[in-house]
């Protein structure tokens, strides 16, 4: 874990927000589902309490690590590419705010720098538990300017990872989606989308990324992801 100095932490913001952090390489309908679940969680939170009222729209932090970002096979798309894809899908709130970051601390810092206080955080289950980096950082560093602790809320979600399916099962699923044009948000992942692009399965890739109604954009994105797979 990187060394953090208190003077490096941006000041507390009054506008509280719900935040989701992820790579989304590329964004998929599974990611859109999570963003919308965060929107629902924000509404429920605001209905239950007025003490920590959150902005009605989510803040999405798209992370590309400085070292991991050099692996274009797993990180083929720029921040701008990913934002365009999510917006083109039409599947999330149009007011959604997007922020770019390279690591956990920068993600939380940039949320503050954008004028929001990260209060409700959605993270993948692989980052859960006592060692969750975002929880540690928030509890240790992201408090009131006088050091008084702030209350943070966390939503832990199950990550879908096609790598756990095995190669043959992943190929079979891609073939099914290619034939039917239907992808399920609880079965897809960035890994599955990248494999579909590698195989030049445009229908499957479009369904997984939510771009079936935007075929020209889907073709452009598929080529970028395919290029990353070849050059990774």
The per-residue pLDDT for 128 is 47
pLDDT above 70 for 196: yes
Residue 232: pLDDT band with limits 50, 70, 90: low
The per-residue pLDDT for 156 is 84
Residue 208: pLDDT band with limits 50, 70, 90: very high
pLDDT above 70 for 32: yes
pLDDT above 60 for 13: yes
The per-residue pLDDT for 131 is 46
Residues of each domain in the chain carrying CATH 3.40.50.620:
14-157
Beta carbons within 8 Å of 93's beta carbon, 6+ residues apart: 35, 36, 39, 57, 58
Residue 130: pLDDT band with limits 50, 70, 90: very low
With beta carbons less than 8 A apart as the criterion, state whether 134 and 123 touch. yes
Closest C-alpha to 159, from 22, 60, 1: 22
CATH 3.40.50.620 fits 14-157, yes or no: yes
Of 51-55, 87-91, 108-112, 221-225, which range is least confident? 51-55
The per-residue pLDDT for 67 is 63
Closest C-alpha to 57, from 109, 23, 99: 99
Helical packing angle, 202-209 and 190-198, nearest 10° = 160
| Mean pLDDT estimate for the chain | 90
């Amino acid at each position: 874990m990187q060394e953090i100095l208190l003077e490096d932490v941006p000041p507390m913001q009054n506008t509280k927000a719900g935040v989701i952090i992820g790579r989304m390489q590329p964004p998929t309908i599974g990611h859109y589902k999570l963003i919308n679940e965060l929107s629902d969680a924000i509404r429920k939170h605001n209905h239950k309490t007025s003490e920590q009222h959150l902005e009605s729209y989510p803040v999405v932090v798209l992370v590309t690590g400085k070292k991991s970002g050099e692996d274009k096979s797993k990180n083929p798309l720029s921040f701008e590419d990913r934002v365009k894809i999510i917006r083109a899908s039409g599947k999330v709130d149009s007011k959604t705010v997007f922020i770019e970051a390279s690591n956990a601390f920068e993600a939380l810092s940039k949320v503050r720098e954008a004028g929001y206080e990260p209060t409700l955080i959605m993270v993948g289950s692989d980052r859960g538990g006592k060692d969750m980096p975002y929880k540690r950082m928030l509890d240790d560093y992201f408090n009131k300017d006088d050091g008084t602790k702030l209350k943070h809320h966390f939503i832990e979600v199950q990550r879908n990872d096609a790598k756990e399916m095995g190669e043959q099962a992943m190929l079979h699923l891609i073939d099914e989606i290619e034939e039917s044009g239907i992808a399920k948000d609880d079965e897809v992942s960035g890994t599955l989308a990248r494999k579909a692009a590698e195989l030049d399965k445009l229908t499957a890739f479009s369904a997984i990324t939510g771009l079936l109604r935007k075929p020209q954009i889907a073709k452009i994105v598929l080529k970028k992801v395919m290029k990353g797979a070849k050059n990774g």
